[in-house]
Chains A and B, each alone.
Chain A
């Protein structure tokens, strides 16, 4: 992949992000990839004069990740998108849509997680019964 890739943990995410900002890196976006039934990988992409730098964070699906939106305001949108599509929770978001950026309030599933089975409620089974 074009650009330098650095593996990080949730503990040093904010520190590394703040360092990027000091070094005049521009926030590009995040990419979330489901890598197993229990884990996802989040790539933080930054750019400075067309030189890309990526931070790679591997976390379990049920953990909460610190939001980088207090450092890079623009990140709030993509972090909310990941909350909606992958169910990963970010804490400290400057604007938290609470999984309603794209989804309706009553949606509890993670549309972009292929390994998660849709949990049917007893009510939904009753509705389908003849």
Chain B
């Protein structure tokens, strides 16, 4: 049979970020997929040479808008570990609250885009309508909708008063109710199932051996979530990772949908246990040494390697983002798939190209 090569991207309808896939097809079945990057590489890691270790918080927050809070939290955790700084308990709980709000709006954004990828426009709009409520909470508590910029080395820069925590709990109640209303559609609708069930299957063994992370890994039955490490205040609240076992696009969708409810629960727990006290400690000195640190972003585990030499500039900052770890999955999932399923399968790993290229 004649082989056809189709260039998919870098610009295409389902993903507003540039990734190019060279798809080799026999008839309409993919036999090989080779990704290409380099359209938005910014070399942010190299900025450690001219920005000091405090300024680098603003840089890592801009690796990706959707995960900005978690990038900053991971970076601050690394520097705090290196400098032996103990973050006040209240700050640790506040980090949990804002990080879970970030996970919620990221997953809701993805759920909308995912619905859009198979042409379910009204579902797309419903998810994005609900997402606005989370962004409103971010704006009311931090002043910003996306890049909330609350992390500093030694704690957080913003606090939550009683009125604000009540407002959050009230808004989350509405969000929970609206999501429950959409549950039947996303979980049982004929269109959703027809386009996602049995597509892009990865077994647990494949997912683990490929080094995948986040919902992509957990949808294949592997219960791995960096929050199990207990960073911030996750060690003080009840947490069990959401796991599905089918390993297809539908399972990845279910994991993310269930994780939104889990985030609501985690925020309620964190607010319920929010201790009184300081929100940050003063930082003295400069970092020296080598550290690795990781947190669970919405797309999966982010891994930071930081090396410092006692000066104000770090020697090296290396960021392994979740999409960078999940791209190899596409090379396994796409061969054997129909061309029409490519947008759904690609989107099922929740790709973030600005994270990948940094």
* Bound form: Cα–Cα A78–B37 in Å: 12
B42 to chain A, nearest CB (A): 10
The answer to whether A78 and B45 touch across the interface, beta carbons within 8 angstroms, is no
B337 to chain A, nearest CB (A): 18
List chain B residues, Cβ under 8 A from A52: 292
B357 at the interface (CB under 8 A from A): yes
Which applies to chain B's interface (DSSP): helix, strand, loop or mixed? mixed
List chain B residues, Cβ under 8 A from A31: 305, 316, 318
- Which of A13-29 touch B at CB < 8 Å? 21, 26-29
- Which of A75-102 touch B at CB < 8 Å? 76-78, 95, 97, 100-102
The answer to whether B46 and A112 touch across the interface, beta carbons within 8 angstroms, is yes
The answer to whether B316 and A33 touch across the interface, beta carbons within 8 angstroms, is yes
With A29-B303, A33-B316, A43-B305 known to touch, is A73 a contact of B38 (CB < 8 Å)? no
* Bound form: Cα–Cα A86–B210 in Å: 24
List chain B residues, Cβ under 8 A from A112: 43, 45-46
- Which of B19-50 touch A at CB < 8 Å? 34, 36-38, 41, 43, 45-46, 49
Complex interface bits, B298-322 against A, C-beta within 8 A gives 1, otherwise 0: 0000010101000000011010100
* Bound form: Cα–Cα A15–B148 in Å: 46
The answer to whether A95 and B34 touch across the interface, beta carbons within 8 angstroms, is yes
A18 to chain B, nearest CB (A): 13
The answer to whether A77 and B49 touch across the interface, beta carbons within 8 angstroms, is no
* Bound form: Cα–Cα A103–B36 in Å: 11
B341 at the interface (CB under 8 A from A): no
Can you name the residue of chain A whose Cβ is closest to the Cβ of B230? A50
The answer to whether B316 and A102 touch across the interface, beta carbons within 8 angstroms, is no
Can you name the residue of chain A whose Cβ is closest to the Cβ of B34? A95
The answer to whether A1 and B292 touch across the interface, beta carbons within 8 angstroms, is yes
List chain B residues, Cβ under 8 A from A76: 328
The answer to whether B211 and A102 touch across the interface, beta carbons within 8 angstroms, is no
Can you name the residue of chain B whose Cβ is closest to the Cβ of A34? B316
The answer to whether B229 and A29 touch across the interface, beta carbons within 8 angstroms, is no
The answer to whether B325 and A74 touch across the interface, beta carbons within 8 angstroms, is yes
The answer to whether B211 and A28 touch across the interface, beta carbons within 8 angstroms, is yes
B239 at the interface (CB under 8 A from A): no
Question: Which B residues fall within an 8 A CB radius of A?
Answer: 34, 36-38, 41, 43, 45-46, 49, 81, 208-211, 228-229, 289-293, 303, 305, 307, 315-316, 318, 320, 324-325, 327-328, 331, 357
22 contacts between A and B (CB under 8 A): A2-B291, A2-B292, A2-B293, A21-B209, A28-B303, A28-B320, A29-B318, A31-B305, A50-B228, A72-B209, A73-B209, A73-B328, A74-B210, A76-B328, A77-B324, A78-B324, A97-B36, A101-B38, A102-B37, A102-B38, A103-B38, A111-B43
Besides the contacts A28-B325, A31-B318, A32-B318, what 13 more A-B pairs have beta carbons closer than 8 Å? A1-B289, A1-B291, A2-B291, A27-B211, A29-B318, A73-B331, A74-B210, A74-B211, A76-B328, A95-B34, A102-B38, A102-B41, A112-B46
